[in-house]
Structure 1
Amino acid sequence: MKIQVLVVDDEWNMRNLLRIYLMKEGFEVKEASTGSEALSLMKRYAFDVILLDVMMPDMDGWQVCKNIREHSQIPILMLTARSETKDKVHGLGIGADDYLTKPFESEELIARIYSLIRRSTISKMSMPQEVKLHYPELSIHPDGRDVLIQDQSVEFTQKEFDLLLTLAQNSHRAFSREELVERLWGHDYHGESRVIDTHVKNIREKAHKAGLSYNPVQTVWGIGYKFYTAGDLT
């Protein structure tokens, strides 16, 4: 079966260029010129990856990404003319999987797409038998990707959940930012490790808002982060 790609960009010239690149590689391509159109297409088709422009008139790419992450873990590659590190960190922090700055070579684009799909496939195939983690006021269900705080489900983005689960499953050790980036994004990720700080901040805020009486992610000065158990695992 052909790889299904959704291209989201308000500029026709860019969509046309991407379509040429992707169809030459043998991909099946659908296009959306607005964020609203993209969300509508996602309800009708099953895509393998989304190429998402940041600057669009009705909904910017960040808004679209956040909306998608509320119900789907499909790989998202953000495309933008903005090269500032803070923009990249923000995009990755809200759930994007990778970031590519315009202009770019077709070879790099295709390589990034294959990398995202490969990581997504490996993640699904290597998922172990579920071992639910239970802590005071907090439980994590890996298979269902559910986090319960005070017996109420709390929504986390894909990367926020993966980060929390990684720390919880290895509560005996502290991880550096670089180690966590490698685990969450893979060896071929070359972005900023500070994106981990954004995810940690989001996890802490959501946990506190949900009523968790302790901070589940502890800062280990000079190293990085570790999971705070707040009592024995039950």
Structure 2
Amino acid sequence: MTPHILIIEDDSSIAELQRDYLESHQMQVTMMHNGFQGVQEALQTEYDLIIVDVMLPSMDGFEICRRIREKKDVPIMIVSAKKEEIDKIRGLGLGIDDYITKPFSPSELVARVKAHMKRYEQLKGAEQREDILTLKNITVDRAARKVFVLNQEVTLTTKEFDVLAFFMENPNRVWTKEQLFRQLWYMDDLDGDVFTVVVHVGRIRDKLKKANLSEIPIETVWGSGYRFNTD
């Protein structure tokens, strides 16, 4: 089935360039140029991935992502001219899957879109398994995609859940930031944005602490990466 992509972008020339490259790779594209209308379209139609610009009339991209993520688990990518780390952190905290700064190559956009859709399809397949992981007072229910700490549910974003589940599936092994990026963002052919990994690990740790977990098992191995320690 042909993937269906929604682009929410007020600059028609940029939107059309994105559309042309995606369509040249056998994807169907719908474009919306207004933030409010983009949210309505995203919520009433099923898409395989949504690309959102930050600066939009009527509603900014962060608010768009927040509203979509409240209702749907579809992969979301932000495209922005804003390169500040605080904006990336804000976007990742809202549960987006990727943050690309302008200017970018259209081929990179296509590669990232394909990677996120492939990863999402794998995760949907994994959800059919009725298995539960429990380590260090943390329980991950992969079928329900829920996390419990000390028997109390903790809310994680889609990608935060993926990162924590991956660590718990592969405990006591050190993973570099680059390896985690390739494994969880599924982008072997791109230079890994390891800052994305750092943000997600930091947010998971913060949520585990707020859930009163006295010992945070995700450790930083200086000069190497991260490890979920069960000792």
SS at match of 1:40: helix
Aligned-partner Cα distance in 2 for 1:115–1:137: 32
Q: Do structure 1's residue 50 and structure 2's residue 56 form an aligned pair?
A: no
The 5 A counterparts of 1:120-139 are 120-125=120-125, 129-139=129-139
Change (3 A) 1:167 1:88: same
Q: Which amino acid aligns with 1:214?
A: E
Displacement of 1:77: 2.7
Change (3 A) 1:104 1:221: closer
Aligned-partner Cα distance in 2 for 1:189–1:126: 25
Q: Do structure 1's residue 148 and structure 2's residue 148 form an aligned pair?
A: yes
Aligned-partner Cα distance in 2 for 1:176–1:108: 23
Q: 1:161 maps to which residue?
A: 161
Structure 2: which 5+ residue stretches go unaligned? none
Question: Is residue 9–residue 15 contact of structure 1 (8 Å, CA) maintained in 2?
Answer: yes
Aligned-partner Cα distance in 1 for 2:49–2:12: 20
Q: Which amino acid aligns with 1:197?
A: V
Question: Is residue 51–residue 78 contact of structure 2 (8 Å, CA) maintained in 1?
Answer: yes
SS at match of 1:68: helix
Change (3 A) 1:177 1:10: same
Aligned-partner Cα distance in 2 for 1:190–1:59: 31
Q: Which amino acid aligns with 1:203?
A: I
Displacement of 1:97: 3.0
Tell me how many residue pairs correspond in the alignment.
Answer: 230
Q: 1:199 maps to which residue?
A: 200
Q: 1:221 maps to which residue?
A: 222
The 5 A counterparts of 1:183-198 are 183-186=183-186, 187-198=188-199
Question: Is residue 69–residue 158 contact of structure 1 (8 Å, CA) maintained in 2?
Answer: no
Q: Which amino acid aligns with 2:49?
A: V
Question: Is residue 178–residue 192 contact of structure 2 (8 Å, CA) maintained in 1?
Answer: no
Q: 1:179 maps to which residue?
A: 179
Question: Is residue 76–residue 97 contact of structure 2 (8 Å, CA) maintained in 1?
Answer: yes
Q: Which amino acid aligns with 1:140?
A: V
| Per-residue CA distance 1:9-57 (angstroms, 9 max, x = gap) | 1334434444455556554333333433333222211001111112224
Displacement of 1:180: 0.8
Q: 2:39 maps to which residue?
A: 39
Aligned-partner Cα distance in 2 for 1:42–1:224: 37
Change (3 A) 1:39 1:212: farther
SS at match of 1:194: helix
Percent identical residues: 36
Kindly report the root-mean-square deviation, in angstroms, between the aligned alpha carbons of the 2 structures.
2.9
Question: Is residue 7–residue 51 contact of structure 1 (8 Å, CA) maintained in 2?
Answer: yes
| Per-residue CA distance 1:166-212 (angstroms, 9 max, x = gap) | 11111121211111111111213324212211111111111222222
Aligned-partner Cα distance in 2 for 1:128–1:188: 28
Question: Is residue 127–residue 145 contact of structure 2 (8 Å, CA) maintained in 1?
Answer: no
Aligned-partner Cα distance in 2 for 1:194–1:19: 28
Structure 1: which 5+ residue stretches go unaligned? none
Q: TM-score, normalised by structure 1?
A: 0.81
Displacement of 1:68: 3.0
Aligned-partner Cα distance in 2 for 1:188–1:48: 21
Change (3 A) 1:33 1:215: same
Structure 1 stretch 48-57 or stretch 82-91: which is displaced more? 82-91
Aligned-partner Cα distance in 2 for 1:221–1:101: 29
